Structure 1
Amino acid sequence: MKKKFGIKTRILLGFGLFIIAVINIFLYFFYLLTEKSFINSIKTNIEKNYESIKKTLDNQEGYIINIPSKDLDEIKSLGLFIHLGKEDQEIMKNYNLGYYFYGDNIIFRGDYKGYNILIGKNISDFLSYKSKILELMLFADFLGVIIIVMMIYFITNRLLRPLLNLSKYISKYDIEKDKSLVKNNYGDSEIGLITDAINNLISKSKSILESQKRFIQDSNHELKTPLMQIDTNIEILEEKITDKNILKKLENIKKSTENINKIVSNLGFILREENKSYSLEKINIKNYIENLVKNFDNLLQEKNISINIISYFNLELENNTYFLDRLFGNLIQNSISYNKGNSKIDIEIFENKIILKDEGIGIQKSELENIFNRFYRNQDSCIYNKEGNGLGLTIVKKICDDFSWKINVDSKIGVGSKFEIIFKD
């Protein structure tokens, strides 16, 4: 599963990159302005001296030109160098008219009255300065990242801490077990308003849940009497009727009644507030499972399925068979029901856990997180026409939760499923 960036991380990255971009833009424009100003000042001095040389050429004739000493002193003070001569054009063809860069020099070439005039300045100091500017930008980036991330971390941590604490609390909140609402420590602030809204939703959800429980409990109670009457009447009719067709229909009615009774019983178990009120006894798990498996002999023979009990440890639990029957009974029942047959089921007993592995039809990965929900049946159960009411694994999960046991599930379509129950230390 890919890990996503949290809101704090995204804010840090966003603000950090924004500030760094602003610093870089500022330094870049500062560098451009400095470079432009420096180059323009050099060009101004070069052009000034170029005009001075042109005047000298206007006043003198001959191959050797005498430049006034005051002009030479000015050229020297400006750090300029000059070349003046009547070289062959073949020699000067590689030198374009105007400005160009040559090595660490900026050079201006002019052509006046047949003279090749080269005026230039060494800009190695400026290039070194330019390199330092770039180094400064990199250093500013590095330092900016550290400072900005630290500042924003402390700011966002202070701003988001209440929201993160609220998020952690809500993620662990159990609407069925937790009696109190979320405590509002933030008054009328934004976080406080969010807390109040969450509490409002929790209150409504609790009210709906309680209404559902009362409805199921009332229905459970009201169904028991008519179901008992149906069972009694079926038994009376079976004794008096000899017609095989009618007896077969009565048998179907009896099976349907048994299924309804099972649903009623399961609902009663799920809605029971406290299952730990039963007395506990020390139970040898290997012996217990061996006896439990005998209840499924007929189903196992029908599908030619074998159950292998492998004990790596003489595990004993302080518990009650009332819970263990429902826990392991439902798991074994599912492993048999969702199985094509001619296969095996392995039950492995360890020091602090039990693993049940089958070679059944398997469960889709996308459905694993829903299999413990009430009345949930995976798609494959419908495809294979498997009977069930979607409460078996809900009961398994409830028992594990009541005793603080952990249950893990792994499954692959066409290969089978593995249920691992880890007992608390």
Structure 2
Amino acid sequence: MRNDNKTKSPKNDDTNAFTGTIQRVFNNISSAVSGIVNGFISNLRFSISLRISLIYIRLLLFSLIFIIFLYCIGFLVIMVPIIHREDQVLYSEIAMGISREEDIDNVVMPLRNVTKKEIVIFTQNNLIYTTVEDEKLYTVNRLHFDRTSRTLYYLNAINEDDIQITIIHSLNKYLSILSNIIKVILIIELLRIFSIIKKGRKINKKVLKPIMEMTEIAQRISVQNLSHRINVAGTKNELKDLAKTINDMMDRIETSYNNQKQFVSDASHELRTPIAVIQGYANLLNRWGKEDKEVLNESIIAIKNESNNMQELVEKLLYLARHDKKTLKLEKELFELKDLLNEMIRETKMIAKSHIIESEINCSPIIYGDKQSIKQGIRIFIDNALKYTEPGGKITIKCETENDGCLVSIIDTGIGISKKDLNKIFSRFYRADESRNNNKNGHGLGLSIAKLIVLAHNGKIKVKSKLGEGSVFTIYFDVENGTN
């Protein structure tokens, strides 16, 4: 015990520093835990199941910290007012004893022994009595942690009627109660975490089973077995939609791959014939062409024809390749379709003198498109009609209006197309049986190119045909307003 006249003025802050300190501590802990967990997860590659479990754990840890924080705040809200009321009573008794000029030691010591609280008394900012030896305990404000005794003190200064009494509380008892409550909460929450992780693993396996099946099927898919598909039975909601989307994608990939294989195979087959012919005539020239002029002339003509045939095939293949790669450019402009058709009719009459060429041009539409490409497309239909119409047959080229467009029709009296072939004539390298049986030259690419040209100009194609009677190919083009 000390009784001296040292002048000490404690800082009297009316704000609740203790509550603020606790709040800052928990905020720092929460931020630190969140940063550690996020960094740990981002730096490692985990399975989806483990990531979901870690998310569960993180949420539970945050909820645990929040619950503990609420318990601490609740504890403070309850205990601090009780402490202040007790201190107010203690202050009144000490102040009454001082006012009666009783011996301070006789007044303070019984109260100290009963309340287990240390007491420091100031009058007019002069220290007149203290029950503690450590000067920090009556000079600090609100909170003080003694490292030697590992005790946290709370200082409550009451200043009335020129008498200031600082009552010093050891918070270890309250912290012990709070610690026991937190331990109970921790045990309960850890049991919850363990239970959720255990149940979550089962749920995750069930939920992620379709994804694992997708992974296994995707690993088995190769060029040799593109037909594998994901079993959508048992899947629900988004996973079912994902499985269907992947199956649809595989259908498109398989179709595209098969088309590519067929294209390469057909192109190789078409190139094999002219190459074989050229090699045959080259061998013939090597053996007899040097002395026999008839063999020499025959070989030169054959090689020239087959070279032209190969050039035509390569140009068609390049056209299709540019279209497939989206590098085919059309130079569109406004032009009068009637002039183009009349030009093509004159050209056809010059080269097809063995056929009857007729025309019915009843309109003069102006269309917007690539003039040369449209000419190439219509020329393919005309050449096709000439090829499959016997000499003396009739080819009619018509142009007429329909609504806001025009119709260009190529009508022939040729061999016609069977019903089974009608839906396949625009496929690449496809040739109907009738054309093969009649030994008609061609690669089966013309109509597919013509279709691409028409579609590139937002046009439509309609085909009517009857085996043995002829065919009608009708092309629809949009026209500029008021030009029909």
TM-score (norm 1): 0.47
TM-score by length of 2: 0.42
Structure (1 or 2) with the larger CA radius of gyration: 2
